[in-house]
Amino acid sequence: MEGLQMKFCASVRGLNIHFGDRTVLRDIDADFPAGRVTVLLGRSGSGKTTLLRSLNRLNECFEGYRGEGYVSVRLGGTLHPVYGTDALSLSLLRRSVGMVFQTPNPLPLSIRKNLTMPLSIVAGMGKHEAETAMERALTEVGLWDEVRDRLNRPALSLSGGQQQRLCLARALALDPEILLLDEPTASLDSLAGSRIEDLILSFRERYSVVMVSHSLSQARKLADLVMVMAEGRIDQRLPASEIPEGAEAECFLEKLL
């Protein structure tokens, strides 16, 4: 844990977030270690997803959003404020802080265009460059061999697990430094979920990952650091090694939440 506290990919200070009259996050202070996997655990409604979305300003897409506090992300080795007058441009922030949602959400386009359209529109890549980045990203998530012969088919014709890997590839193609994963295995079967987990483990050296999960065993498998949230606050921070296995895990979870 000592090493983790030294360098962080994102930092949050005094963060309060409200939607209309409802306060979702209360006075959050947190540092997310760089090059590691941080898992946010907690009951539904505890504010995990809102905290995740505060790192790429996605909360602003929802009606009634109000926020106070300071959030910064480390990109290219430098800390940049996420909010305020000297903040990063929204487009650059969201490209560099990639996100994968709970339910696979491919755009209603072909497999190819799901990757190349954001690359050409957001990253300004030419056709050839975008095709190269697409192949690299699809290879990285182990999908290239499965889809190389049907790149012009609808992305929605893929299985749920393949769609989620496609979404992961789409985020990776934009060359992010931080990955936000909002329960990326929640809507998948155990085999497809396990494949995503293996990918996350393989990413830990290259990307800083902040992830929301409901599963203690998943947190133990993937996390370097676990943050337990309740009622909009971070209640505990603990290394994954402190999470027990087997029958004890259930009691531990009950106690935590």
Partner 1 sequence: MNRSRLPDAALSIVSRGAALFVCTVLFLFVGFLIFRGLPVLGSSLFFGNTAALDAILGRRPVWDGLWPATAGTLYLLLLTMLFAILPGVGGGVYLACYANPRQKQWLGLAVDLLAGVPSIVMGLFGFVLIVFLRRTLLPHGTTCLLLASFCLALLVLPSLVVGTKNALESLPERLYLTASALGFSHDRAVFRVLVPAAGKGILGGIILAMGRAAEDTAVIMLTGVVANAGLPAGLTAKFEALPFRIYYTAAQYADQHELATGFGAALVLLILSACLLFCAWLFQRGLEREWRGFK
Q: Which residues bind partner 1 (CB under 8 A)?
A: 56, 58, 61, 90-95, 98-99, 101, 103, 105, 107-110, 112-113, 117-118, 121-122, 152-154, 170-171, 174
DSSP for 21-57 reads TEEEEEEEEEEEETTSEEEEEE-TTSSHHHHHHHTTT
Q: Are strands 78-81 and 65-75 parallel, antiparallel or unpaired?
A: antiparallel
**Which CB sits closer to partner 1, 39 or 99?**
99
Least CB distance from residue 90 to partner 1, whole Å? 7
Sole residue written with tokens 């999960």: 213
Residue 11's DSSP bridge partners are: 31, 72
**Which CB sits closer to partner 1, 81 or 244?**
81
Least CB distance from residue 24 to partner 1, whole Å? 17
**Which CB sits closer to partner 1, 97 or 219?**
97
Least CB distance from residue 182 to partner 1, whole Å? 10
Least CB distance from residue 25 to partner 1, whole Å? 19
Backbone angles phi, psi at 187, to 5 degrees: -100, 15
Read off the tokens for 49: 């997803």
**Which CB sits closer to partner 1, 19 or 101?**
101
Least CB distance from residue 207 to partner 1, whole Å? 16
Angle at 33 between CA 30 and CA 34, to 5 degrees: 135
Least CB distance from residue 120 to partner 1, whole Å? 10
Helix (H, G, I), strand (E, B) or coil at 68: strand
- Beta carbons of 196 and 161 less than 8 angstroms apart: yes
**Which CB sits closer to partner 1, 171 or 222?**
171
**Which CB sits closer to partner 1, 49 or 215?**
49
- Beta carbons of 147 and 138 less than 8 angstroms apart: yes
Read off the tokens for 213: 């999960």
**Which CB sits closer to partner 1, 117 or 256?**
117
Query: Which strand ranges, in their side-by-side order, compose the sheet holding 208-213?
Result: 97-100, 178-182, 208-213, 37-42, 225-230, 233-239
Least CB distance from residue 224 to partner 1, whole Å? 24
